[in-house]
Amino acid sequence: MEKSAQKIELWMEQLRRMREMQYAYHKKFFHGLYLFLVLVVGCLLWDSPISLALVPLLVITAGTQSCFYLHFVDFARIHARFVEGRLNKVLGNSALVGSEIEDLYFYPVDAPKVGGFVPSAPLRFFSFFTLHWTLVWLGLATFALWRLLPMMGPCGRHYLWLLGLWGGLNFIYLAWFFYKASDRHGMDSLLKKSS
């Protein structure tokens, strides 16, 4: 087999693996979203102080877990874009356009974002979807707190303080991580060196 044909076959295999990874983490994202929703609704229906206290913690964890899956989806998209670029050099400039279509249809993978919310494109459906679920989760957490705090008495203030600290730390880290995008930049740099 000719060396360039071997390279094309290898790159096609890498592209297939990255697309499968994208699909797998999209699937994990939605399964996780539904699992956390069932857990939160179950805690709200149980209506005990312990179950209500768990709701805000589950909400914070659901958000962080969702961002974890998005991190993997972005990895797969960046790697797929690189492989498509290599294949397009060999096959012709517009042979593979999947990455370009994803940037147009979902969100530009290089755009700064907080989780799935892209501040430069707040009206894109991906940003709207992220904002929608963020508001749903915050609403459920607020409802749990509204039910819980009267049961807690003076301890409620300490719980709110700890909850605010934990939620704030998670949000600050995720905003910093996704906005700074040092992993993405490092990956881009490494892929360009290997071209």
pLDDT averaged over the chain?
A: 92
Is this structure's pTM higher than 0.85?
yes
pLDDT at 1: 54
Query: What does the radius of gyration of the chain's CA atoms come to, in whole angstroms?
Result: 21
| Cβ-based neighbour number of residue 96 at 10 Å | 21
Give the integer Cα–Cα distance in Å for 159 and 136.
21
The pLDDT value recorded for residue 5 is 85
**Which residues of the chain have a pLDDT value below 70?**
1, 195
pLDDT value of position 184: 82
| Confidence (pLDDT) at 183 | 82
CB 143 within 8 A of CB 44: yes
Burial status of residue 183 (CB atoms within 10 A of its CB: 0-12, 13-18, 19 or more)? middle
pLDDT of residue 195: 65
Our separate counts of H helices and E strands in the chain read 6, 0
Instruction: Tell me, letter by letter, the H, E, C secondary structure of 109-163.
Output: CCCCCECCECCCCCCCHHHHHHHHHHHHHHHHHHHHHHHHHHHHCCHHHHHHHHH
